[in-house]
Structure 1
Amino acid sequence: MGLRERKKRATRRALQGAAVRLTLERGLEKVTVEEIAAEADVSARTFFNYFATKEDALIGDAPISPDEADREEFIMGGPTGDFSEDLVHLLINSLAGPGDLTAHRAEAAQRKALLDREPQLLPVFLGRLHSAEQGLATAVAQRSGAPEDDFRSQVIAGAAMSVTRHTLKRVPYGDAGDIEAARALFRKAFVNLGEAFGPTD
């Protein structure tokens, strides 16, 4: 990732963090876009380069979604050619890099507190979750040459999203080891699903 992209990601995360902090302190109705931007040390105009509304900033990048390059690689049959391994690779790369799992879990805990306090944000979050799942289902369908509304692809995507959520709860805290621990747990979870629902004869 280049310097410019790292700076953009840092600004986006700063705005998200500021939005959540201020809303938890004051309540959604008492926080303005201008205050969020000032807290993140940017202009209101910069805020709108990243988010359309303060509600968008509050939900942020949840749930995690793969970037376009990784998604295209998966659709084209890479990087290994093995579907399960490539799906794990796609999901792991969505986490961005070593050390990010700890930050993600801290953000998830904050987001839960936010949704408890401001339940009107729940439809926005659920809509984002649905969009991410549908995007993954479309990628799975495109890889296999199935129709976009393929039921099998949708089931795989739903299971993958659930595996992601449960796996992140079990990864030990740390830095460099986070990603490899998550990768191993993803693999184990998919094997467990295959054992539970695969043919019994």
Structure 2
Amino acid sequence: MTPPTDDLDAVPPGAGLRERKKAARRLALIDASHRLVAEHGLDAVTVEMICAEVGVSPRTFFNYFATKDDAVLGHRPWSLPEKTAAAFVAGGPSGVLLDDLVDLVVGLVAAPPPGSARMRRTLELAAAHPRLMAHHIAWMDRQKEQVERLVRERLGPAAAHRPDTVTALLLVCVHATLMRWDAAGGEGHVREHATAVVAELRALITA
């Protein structure tokens, strides 16, 4: 099945056609899972049903999502590029902690948000199915642990700031960047939105 044309733009500017098609296929799997769960219920839906809806094999499905629940929730692991993580831990790239959070946000957010309608459906399904909500909370905890390890390494044992506070601030930056990007219709690059969020936070803190 060819990915929907209107979803081919759901990738960062400059991405090639292959990356655009992969992003569109991922969104198609999310949409199919939402439709099927709404129609049949969470427990009745299988990975095979989702694959049949999109026209892909289960093998292809598992290239995008680890489980059916991950597809419904649109989960993708946060995986920082090694170079970005190493630079942050070493005290860079700017040496100013708040500014350096921008690079972490850029490294963590690989593609534009899936859109307000999808996010709203995801939240509705998670609220309706306790298992999905528990799965989402567990996923968030794993992402938080990954980020907090980096923050602790950056700050060191005699840190002037609490690692959990910095980690919480980073998670706020990620969420605010995604919301800002979505409000812009997916236009622009993640860095410009993340930079604007950090600038606004700095202004709020110093006001």
Quote how far apart the aligned CAs of 1:116 are.
Answer: 2.3
Instruction: Please say if residues 36 and 45 of structure 2, whose CA atoms lie closer than 8 Å, have aligned partners that are also in contact.
Output: yes
Q: Indicate which of 92, 99, 110 corresponds to 1:96.
A: 110
Note the residue ranges of structure 1 that are not aligned, 5 or more in a row: 197-201
**Residues 166, 50 of structure 1: CA spacing in aligned structure 2 closer, same or farther, 3 A cutoff?**
closer
**TM-score normalized by the length of structure 2:** 0.73
Q: Give the length in aligned residue pairs.
A: 188
- 1:1-150 aligned at under 5 Å gives the runs 8-61=22-75, 65-69=78-82, 70-97=84-111, 100-101=112-113, 103-146=114-157
Quote how far apart the aligned CAs of 1:140 are.
Answer: 1.1
- Root-mean-square deviation (CA), in Å? 3.1
**TM-score normalized by the length of structure 1:** 0.74
Quote how far apart the aligned CAs of 1:33 are.
Answer: 0.9
1:154 maps to 2:164: yes
Instruction: Please say if residues 79 and 108 of structure 2, whose CA atoms lie closer than 8 Å, have aligned partners that are also in contact.
Output: yes
Identity of aligned residues (%): 35
Q: Indicate which of 192, 195, 201 corresponds to 1:189.
A: 201
Instruction: Please say if residues 102 and 194 of structure 2, whose CA atoms lie closer than 8 Å, have aligned partners that are also in contact.
Output: no
The one-letter amino acid paired with 1:67 is L
Instruction: Give the Cα–Cα distance (whole angstroms) in 1 for the partners of residues 194 and 87 of structure 2.
Output: 21
Instruction: Please say if residues 134 and 154 of structure 1, whose CA atoms lie closer than 8 Å, have aligned partners that are also in contact.
Output: no
Deviations 1:125-166 (A, max 9, x none): 00111111111111111223349xxx8112211122134334
Instruction: Please say if residues 134 and 157 of structure 1, whose CA atoms lie closer than 8 Å, have aligned partners that are also in contact.
Output: no
Instruction: Give the Cα–Cα distance (whole angstroms) in 2 for the partners of residues 20 and 40 of structure 1.
Output: 12
Instruction: Please say if residues 88 and 187 of structure 1, whose CA atoms lie closer than 8 Å, have aligned partners that are also in contact.
Output: no
Instruction: Give the Cα–Cα distance (whole angstroms) in 2 for the partners of residues 67 and 105 of structure 1.
Output: 25
**Residues 127, 42 of structure 1: CA spacing in aligned structure 2 closer, same or farther, 3 A cutoff?**
same
Deviations 1:6-39 (A, max 9, x none): 5554443432332223212332122111111112
The one-letter amino acid paired with 2:65 is F
SS of 1:30's equivalent in the other structure is coil
Instruction: Give the Cα–Cα distance (whole angstroms) in 2 for the partners of residues 78 and 165 of structure 1.
Output: 22
Instruction: Give the Cα–Cα distance (whole angstroms) in 1 for the partners of residues 99 and 66 of structure 2.
Output: 36
Instruction: Please say if residues 81 and 107 of structure 2, whose CA atoms lie closer than 8 Å, have aligned partners that are also in contact.
Output: no
Question: Which shifted more, 136-145 or 176-185?
Answer: 176-185
